[in-house]
Amino acid sequence: MSRAPLGDADAPAHLDEVITRWAAEWQKGALSGTLLGVEHQPLADDKGHVHWLIRLRGEEKNVITVWLSLRQRTVHVETELMPAPEERHDEVYRFVLTKNHSLRELHVALGPEDGLYLVAHVPTDEMSVERLDEIVGATLHYVDEFYPTVMAMGLPSLYRRRRAR
Higher pLDDT, 162 or 54: 54
Per-domain residue ranges for the chain? 11-154
Q: Which residues contact 101 (CB under 8 A, 6 or more apart)?
A: none
What is the rounded distance in angstroms from the CA atom of residue 146 to the CA atom of residue 151?
A: 8
Per-residue pLDDT, averaged over 10-23, amounts to 93
Integer Cα distance of 33 and 132 in angstroms: 18
> Which CATH number describes the domain made up of 11-154?
3.30.1460.10
Question: Count of CB atoms within 10 A of residue 102's CB?
Answer: 6
Q: How far is CA 161 from CA 69, 87, 127, 147, in A?
A: 31, 17, 35, 10
Ranges 3-12, 102-111, 113-122, 127-136: which has the least confidence: 3-12
Average pLDDT score over residue span 6-24: 88
On whether the CB atoms of residues 36 and 63 are closer than 8 A, the answer is yes
Tens digits of residue pLDDT in 121-165 = 999 999 999 999 999 999 999 999 999 999 999 999 888 766 555
Task: State the pTM of this model.
Answer: 0.88
